[in-house]
């Protein structure tokens, strides 16, 4: 610690702190333009100059390190004169167009001039003019270069935090200008962080342009609904209409950053396909009815099917309170433990539960990734969790964290990684097993002999791909690290090998713990409240409902007995439907017809349920098959909490009223329970949260008042001693031909983003991505229309050639509704074998899907049925 005196106030700060940091701790305001907390100091604007005893010249406080005994003055006549002169120079060329500038009212230059600026300018020459009209750099970013004050925040934010390098400067001196490559943002993520950090109106949001003034807006702090990172943001509305989103700067995991979905993707709240009124099926078509008519009809239908099994599927985008009440409704009113929360994969809860209990770290991401080494397994963090990627890049660059990556899909973050291991599609399981074997070979001698022998007897020597030394390099990096963090993409749960993958992940974490490493593990969820959904019990096996003591506790809390039979996940529920055993199937916010990896099967299953109830905000494909549709409030129309990837519980707040005749989700649950002559108590958001805090161990002690600006962390379950180890999977046969995988892309992650008009303007057309080597071999060029064909169907899309893709890999984003990607897939088969052909002039329109049996076969006679591969 070193001592510093600023304006007569003395304090101790950590060595390496700057004068500006020390002043902030004392509450002393020093003006800045170029300084930004997340960026290294630039010291170019000269607004933060201070006097330091013993130095002749004024020094930039943002770049001057405190020394012991330093004495600093921040307000003297010389400093005031210097600040005024600097502002005068900026105003010499800055247009005085505040009345028409979108930044008016929240412009840092305005504030600085009012506080420190000259009352009369010394400059009388004509102002410099770059352009007479604003430049639209992208669909969401518009620029007025004349207003730019050359602080360089935008350029540095884009390069050093986002990693996109879409902005740069041209010319020099007074002619310096910020621009994109050839006047556009071709390589841009469209995240808008440059707009956020711009202190003036040089970079502006095109969707928000000329819509409102800051003082016209009602601003509400809430949490982003798109992915599991849980970014905090502020929504601005005017007369109840959505206007814009901005970040909160000093709060939440994201601080000042947002991704394109968070900043520009919330206009989905005004989506055009809102369900306006309740609907029931009459004469084969859905017909709008009143809530009273819906009640009479649903009461009769529920009575007719009450002797058969029931099941429920809820979206992990719903708040904790809604999810908790949903599983309570299903267990208490529908008398079933058939509950799930994912329509894209079924989590092997018998393996997942112990893994979460033993290793999941409910702690700030910044703290978790501060370990010596961070291993990212699976997926593409750049496109699935962009703000998490920003933090990982910052750790790799500023803290020299060893970043290790193991995945089939390449990502931009790999440029900052120390070790990158590319695996074949579905090869993560075998690679993890090889890493464990390599770690035991390199460091097994550090374990007690008996322990090592027991582990080796179980694990044995898994087959290691002799063509790659990647797992060995990962094992070496893990061995040399004192602390290790493992971040796991939920894409690994999509594969039928998910159980084996989680088992090998368990082996890796157990070995690292036995070697004395400080451990942390978190999932990278692509749904806003996936961890919360699991915590709330919206999964058939995470709560021990077959245990008498657990059911007795539930009976005391809920005032009713609960069923003792083990629950079924979505796969088993759909099988039950097909077999004619499903009475009522209740879907809350879920759309399995788009997301489930076998469209034909799920269509047959949903159609076979005796009673399909869909409670949703939008008229989804699944809602189109329902017998009863209930219009529910959407995001921003009810309050509650989300639990993000970190285990941080944060408030989501209401900022608009439910549209049309929609009701809150909790109110609809009460409505349905009343039809069965039952009540759900408590039924308010606050009362349910209090019950969660009593009933769910990780949430015990939390209160709504205690969820401050940064939320509150749930509690990690006490770690049990090291458990069992699992044998590695058998050596997989090398897949021949092209293998299709899917996942999220940057501009779309499904249900919500596809309803954002702004995101649809920046997103690419539906595309298929493959390696340059495969494209050349097939004679394709970038943006060629191609047909992707499986044994079940085919679709047409434009080709995107990726030089970093491994040979044999084909990627199609799952979130383009028009593609109906799941029409190519069969459940239990992933990755999916496909062929790719050049689209003919008679090919169907981009995004269409059809059965190849109805079209010409390929010259090789078509693909084998993928189900045959399951038995090999």
Three-state SS letters, 64-76? CECCCCEEEECCC
Question: Do residues 188 and 262 both lie within one domain?
Answer: yes
Question: Do residues 647 and 672 both lie within one domain?
Answer: yes
Question: Do residues 144 and 229 both lie within one domain?
Answer: yes
Residue 87 has pLDDT above 60, yes or no: yes
Residue 745 has pLDDT above 70, yes or no: yes
Q: Average pLDDT of 554-577?
A: 87
Q: Residue 575 has what pLDDT?
A: 96
pLDDT category at 676 given cuts 50, 70, 90 is very high
Residue 858 has pLDDT above 70, yes or no: no
Question: Do residues 701 and 560 both lie within one domain?
Answer: yes
CA-wise closest residue to 765 among 752, 784, 793: 784
pLDDT category at 551 given cuts 50, 70, 90 is confident
pLDDT category at 477 given cuts 50, 70, 90 is very high
Instruction: Compute CA 537 distance to the chain's CA centroid, rounded to the nearest angstrom.
Output: 21
Write the CATH number for 752: 2.40.40.20
**Residue 353 host element (H or E):** helix 349-359
Residue 160 has pLDDT above 80, yes or no: yes
SS3 25: helix
Question: Do residues 748 and 679 both lie within one domain?
Answer: no
State the Cα–Cα distance between residues 409 and 443, nearest whole angstrom.
30
Q: With respect to residue 111, please indicate whether it lies within any of the assigned structural domains.
A: no
pLDDT category at 542 given cuts 50, 70, 90 is low
- Residue ending a domain, among 500, 527, 554, is 527
Could you tell me which residue, 614 or 444, shows the higher pLDDT?
614
Total-model pTM: 0.93
* DSSP single-letter state for residue 705: T
Q: Residue for token digits 């910020």?
A: 178
Structural tokens at position 775: 């494209």
pLDDT category at 183 given cuts 50, 70, 90 is low
* C-beta atoms surrounding 251 within 10 Å: 18
Question: Do residues 143 and 15 both lie within one domain?
Answer: no
pLDDT category at 544 given cuts 50, 70, 90 is low
Concatenating the DSSP letter of every residue in 148-177 gives -----HHHHIIIIII----EEEES-GGG-E
Q: Residue 865 has what pLDDT?
A: 45
* DSSP single-letter state for residue 99: G
620-639, pLDDT tens digit by residue? 999 999 999 999 999 999 99
pLDDT category at 731 given cuts 50, 70, 90 is confident
State the Cα–Cα distance between residues 568 and 647, nearest whole angstrom.
26
State the Cα–Cα distance between residues 148 and 200, nearest whole angstrom.
7
* C-beta atoms surrounding 856 within 10 Å: 10
State the Cα–Cα distance between residues 778 and 773, nearest whole angstrom.
9
SS3 324: helix
State the Cα–Cα distance between residues 344 and 827, nearest whole angstrom.
10
CA-wise closest residue to 644 among 713, 695, 691, 697: 713
- Which has the minimum average pLDDT: 647-661, 719-733, 800-814? 719-733
Q: Residue 853 has what pLDDT?
A: 44
Domain of residue 26: give its range. 2-75
Cis omega before residue 329 (within 30°)? no
Write the CATH number for 642: 3.40.50.740
Domain count, the chain: 5
Q: Average pLDDT of 197-201?
A: 96
**Residue 556 host element (H or E):** helix 548-558
Q: Average pLDDT of 287-293?
A: 98
pLDDT category at 249 given cuts 50, 70, 90 is confident
State the Cα–Cα distance between residues 490 and 228, nearest whole angstrom.
11
Q: With respect to residue 110, please indicate whether it lies within any of the assigned structural domains.
A: no
Q: Residue 662 has what pLDDT?
A: 98
Q: With respect to residue 627, please indicate whether it lies within any of the assigned structural domains.
A: yes
Q: With respect to residue 703, please indicate whether it lies within any of the assigned structural domains.
A: yes
Q: Residue 461 has what pLDDT?
A: 56
Q: With respect to residue 723, please indicate whether it lies within any of the assigned structural domains.
A: no
pLDDT category at 843 given cuts 50, 70, 90 is low
State the Cα–Cα distance between residues 370 and 361, nearest whole angstrom.
13
Write the CATH number for 41: 3.10.20.740
- Residue ending a domain, among 527, 560, 582, is 527
Question: Do residues 338 and 364 both lie within one domain?
Answer: no
Write the CATH number for 176: 3.30.70.20
Question: Do residues 638 and 666 both lie within one domain?
Answer: yes
Concatenating the DSSP letter of every residue in 451-475 gives HHHHHHHHH------TT--HHHHHH
Residue 552 has pLDDT above 70, yes or no: yes
State the Cα–Cα distance between residues 739 and 741, nearest whole angstrom.
7
Q: With respect to residue 99, please indicate whether it lies within any of the assigned structural domains.
A: no
Q: Average pLDDT of 325-332?
A: 95
Q: Residue 855 has what pLDDT?
A: 38
Torsion of CA 290, 296, 302, 304, to 10 degrees: -130
Residue 264 has pLDDT above 90, yes or no: yes
Write the CATH number for 472: 3.40.228.10
Q: DSSP strand E in 305-394: where? A: 309-314, 339-340, 373-377
Residue 462 has pLDDT above 70, yes or no: no
Residue 18 has pLDDT above 90, yes or no: yes
777-789, pLDDT tens digit by residue? 999 999 999 999 9
- Residue ending a domain, among 270, 293, 310, is 270
Q: Please provide residue 187's backbone torsions phi and psi, each rounded to the nearest 5 degrees.
A: -100, 15
* DSSP single-letter state for residue 329: I
Q: With respect to residue 398, please indicate whether it lies within any of the assigned structural domains.
A: yes
Concatenating the DSSP letter of every residue in 711-728 gives BEEPPPPPPPPP----PP
Residue 559 has pLDDT above 80, yes or no: no
Question: Do residues 771 and 690 both lie within one domain?
Answer: no
Q: Residue 543 has what pLDDT?
A: 66
370-421, pLDDT tens digit by residue? 999 999 999 999 999 999 999 999 999 988 899 999 999 999 999 999 999 9
Q: With respect to residue 119, please indicate whether it lies within any of the assigned structural domains.
A: no
Question: Do residues 574 and 469 both lie within one domain?
Answer: no
Could you tell me which residue, 720 or 597, shows the higher pLDDT?
597
Question: Do residues 568 and 682 both lie within one domain?
Answer: yes
Q: Residue 849 has what pLDDT?
A: 55
pLDDT category at 120 given cuts 50, 70, 90 is confident
Give the bridge partners for 488, in sequence order: 377, 523
Concatenating the DSSP letter of every residue in 731-757 gives PPPPPPSEEEEEE-BTTB-STTGGG-H
Question: Do residues 378 and 296 both lie within one domain?
Answer: no
State the Cα–Cα distance between residues 749 and 736, nearest whole angstrom.
30
């Amino acid at each position: 610690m070193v001592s510093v005196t600023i304006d007569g106030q003395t304090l101790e700060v950590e060595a390496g702190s700057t004068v500006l940091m020390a002043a902030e701790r004392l509450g002393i305001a020093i003006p800045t333009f170029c300084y930004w907390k997340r960026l290294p100091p630039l010291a170019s604007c000269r607004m933060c100059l201070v006097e330091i005893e013993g130095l002749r010249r004024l020094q930039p406080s943002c770049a001057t390190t405190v020394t012991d005994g330093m004495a600093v003055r921040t307000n003297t006549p010389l400093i005031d004169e210097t600040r005024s002169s600097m502002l005068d120079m900026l105003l010499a060329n800055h247009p005085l167009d505040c009345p028409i500038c979108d930044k008016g009212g929240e412009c840092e230059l305005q504030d600085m001039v009012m506080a420190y600026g000259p009352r009369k300018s010394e400059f009388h020459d004509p102002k410099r003019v770059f352009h007479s009209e604003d430049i639209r750099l992208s669909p969401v970013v518009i620029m007025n270069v004349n207003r730019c004050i050359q602080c360089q925040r935008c350029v540095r934010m884009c390069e050093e935090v986002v990693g996109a390098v879409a902005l740069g400067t041209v010319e020099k001196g007074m002619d310096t200008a910020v621009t994109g490559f050839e006047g556009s943002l071709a390589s841009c993520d469209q995240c808008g962080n440059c707009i956020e950090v711009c202190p003036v109106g040089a970079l502006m949001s095109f969707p928000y342009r000329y819509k409102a003034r800051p003082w016209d807006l009602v601003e509400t702090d809430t949490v982003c609904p798109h992915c599991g990172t849980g970014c905090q943001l502020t929504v601005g509305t005017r007369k109840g209409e959505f206007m814009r989103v901005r970040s909160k700067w000093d709060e939440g995991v994201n601080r000042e950053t947002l991704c394109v979905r968070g900043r520009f993707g919330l206009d989905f709240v005004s989506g055009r396909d809102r369900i306006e009124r309740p609907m029931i099926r009459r004469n084969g078509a859905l017909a709008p009815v009143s809530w009273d008519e819906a009640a009479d009809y649903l009461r009769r239908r529920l009575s007719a099917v009450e002797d058969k099994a029931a099941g429920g599927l809820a979206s992990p985008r719903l708040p904790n309170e809604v999810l908790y009440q949903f599983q309570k409704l299903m267990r208490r009113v529908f008398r079933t433990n058939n509950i799930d929360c994912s329509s894209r994969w079924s989590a092997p809860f018998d393996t997942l539960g112990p893994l979460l209990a033993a290793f999941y770290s409910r702690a700030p991401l910044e703290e978790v990734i501060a370990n010596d080494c961070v291993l990212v397994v699976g997926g593409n963090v750049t496109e699935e969790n962009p703000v998490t990627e920003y933090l990982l890049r910052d750790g790799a660059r500023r803290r020299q964290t060893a970043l290790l990556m193991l995945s089939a899909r390449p990502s931009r973050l790999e440029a900052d990684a120390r070790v990158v291991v590319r695996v074949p599609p579905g090869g993560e399981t075998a690679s993890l097993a090889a890493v464990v074997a390599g770690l035991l070979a390199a460091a097994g001698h550090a374990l007690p002999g008996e322990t090592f022998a027991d582990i080796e007897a179980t694990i044995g020597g898994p087959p290691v791909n002799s063509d790659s030394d990647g797992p060995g390099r990962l094992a070496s990096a893990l061995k040399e690290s004192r602390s290790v963090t493992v971040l796991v993409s939920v894409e690994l749960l999509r594969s039928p090998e998910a159980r084996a993958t989680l088992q090998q992940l368990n082996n890796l974490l157990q070995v690292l713990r036995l070697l004395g490493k400080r451990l942390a593990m978190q999932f990278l969820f692509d749904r806003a409240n996936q961890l919360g959904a699991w915590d709330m019990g919206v999964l058939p096996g995470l709560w021990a409902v077959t245990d008498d003591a657990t059911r007795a506790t539930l009976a005391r809390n809920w005032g009713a007995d609960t069923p003792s039979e083990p629950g079924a996940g979505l796969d088993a529920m759909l099988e039950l439907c097909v077999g004619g055993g499903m009475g009522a199937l209740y879907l809350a916010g879920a759309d399995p017809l788009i997301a489930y990896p076998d469209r034909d099967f799920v269509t047959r299953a949903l159609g076979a349920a005796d009673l399909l109830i869909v409670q949703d905000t939008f008229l989804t494909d699944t809602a189109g098959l329902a017998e009863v549709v209930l219009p529910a409030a959407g995001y921003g129309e009810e309050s509650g909490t989300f639990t993000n990837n970190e285990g941080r519980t944060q408030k989501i707040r209401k900022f608009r009223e439910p549209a049309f005749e929609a009701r809150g989700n909790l109110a609809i649950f009460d409505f349905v329970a009343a039809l069965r002559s039952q009540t759900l108590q408590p039924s308010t958001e606050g009362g349910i949260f209090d019950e969660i805090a009593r009933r769910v161990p990780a949430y015990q002690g939390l209160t709504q008042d205690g969820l401050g600006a940064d939320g509150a962390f749930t509690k990690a379950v006490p770690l049990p001693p090291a458990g069992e180890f699992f044998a590695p999977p058998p050596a997989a046969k090398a897949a021949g031909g092209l293998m299709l995988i899917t996942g999220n892309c940057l501009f779309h992650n499904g249900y919500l983003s596809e309803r954002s008009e702004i995101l649809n303007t920046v997103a690419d057309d539906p595309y298929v991505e493959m390696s340059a080597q495969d494209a050349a071999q097939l004679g394709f060029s970038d943006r060629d229309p191609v047909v992707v064909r499986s044994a079940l169907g085919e679709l047409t899309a434009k080709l995107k050639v990726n030089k970093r893709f491994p040979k044999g890999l084909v990627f199609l984003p799952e979130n383009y509704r028009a593609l109906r990607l799941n029409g190519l897939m069969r459940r239990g088969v992933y990755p999916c074998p496909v062929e790719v052909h050049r689209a003919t002039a008679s090919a169907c329109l981009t995004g269409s899907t059809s059965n190849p049996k109805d079209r010409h076969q390929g010259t090789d006679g078509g693909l084998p049925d993928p189900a045959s591969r399951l038995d090999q």
